[in-house]
Amino acid sequence: MTKLLPAPDALVGKRLDMALSKMLGMSRAKASELIADGRVRVLDRTVTKSSTLLSGDLIELDQPDLVDEVEPVADDMPVVYEDEDVIVVDKPVGVAAHPSVGWTGPTVLGSLLQRGTHITSMGAQGRQGIVSRLDAGTSGLMLVCKSDLAYKEMRRQFADHEVVKIYHALVQGNLVQDRATIEAPIGRAKVSDFRFTVTPAGKEAITHWDVMERFGSTTLASVNLETGRTHQIRVHFSSIGHPLVGDHMYGANPELADRLGLTRQWLHAMRLEFRHPRTHIWTKVVSSYPADLRKALDMEREERQKRDE
Report the distance separating Cα 288 and Cα 300, nearest Å.
18
**Do residues 74 and 95 touch, judged by C-beta distance below 8 A?**
yes
Helix (H, G, I), strand (E, B) or coil at 148: helix
Helices 16-24 and 28-36: angle between axes, nearest 10 degrees: 110
Residue 22: give its domain's CATH number: 3.10.290.10
Report the distance separating Cα 170 and Cα 266, nearest Å.
6
Residue 131: give its domain's CATH number: 3.30.2350.10
- Counting the structural domains of the chain, the total is 3
**Do residues 144 and 89 touch, judged by C-beta distance below 8 A?**
yes
Report the distance separating Cα 170 and Cα 300, nearest Å.
10
Residues 145 and 31 in one domain: no
Report the distance separating Cα 50 and Cα 52, nearest Å.
6
Q: What is the set of active-site residues?
A: 135
The residue among 26, 41, 69 that closes a domain is 69
193-212: average pLDDT: 92
> pLDDT class for 103, splitting at 50, 70, 90?
confident
Structural domain of residue 146, as residue ranges? 72-160
Residues 101 and 207 in one domain: no
> What is the DSSP secondary structure assignment for residue 276, as one 8-state letter?
-
| Phi–psi pair at 141, nearest 5 degrees | -75, 135
CA dist 168 to 127, 147, 193, 286, 307, Å? Answer: 26, 30, 26, 12, 24
163-184: average pLDDT: 97
The residue among 42, 69, 96 that closes a domain is 69
Res 8 pLDDT > 90: no
**pLDDT at residue 30, as a whole number:** 80
Report the distance separating Cα 77 and Cα 67, nearest Å.
22
- Beta bridge pairs of residue 218: 172
- How wide is the angle at C-alpha 153 spanned by C-alphas 151 and 156, nearest 5°? 105
Residues 16 and 124 in one domain: no
Residues 171 and 293 in one domain: yes
Residues 183 and 306 in one domain: yes
Residues 224 and 300 in one domain: yes
Of the candidates 242, 249, 285, 283, the residue with the CA atom closest to the CA atom of residue 264 = 249
> pLDDT class for 64, splitting at 50, 70, 90?
very low
| The dihedral formed by the CA atoms of 159, 199, 214 and 178, expressed in degrees to the nearest 10 | -70
The residue among 69, 103, 118 that closes a domain is 69
Buried b (16+ CB within 10 A) or exposed e, 243-255: bbbbbebbebbee
Residues 175 and 274 in one domain: yes
Least confident of 25-34, 241-250, 271-280: 25-34
| Type of residue at 145 | C
Average per-residue pLDDT for the chain: 90
CB 205: neighbour CB atoms within 10 A? 24
Residues 109 and 183 in one domain: no
99-113: average pLDDT: 82
Of the candidates 26, 25, 22, 63, the residue with the CA atom closest to the CA atom of residue 41 = 63
Residues 61 and 84 in one domain: no
Residues 22 and 129 in one domain: no
Residues 120 and 182 in one domain: no
Residues 273 and 155 in one domain: no
Give the list of residues 6+ apart from residue 120 with CB closer than 8 angstroms, or none. 128, 129, 145, 146, 147, 148, 150, 151
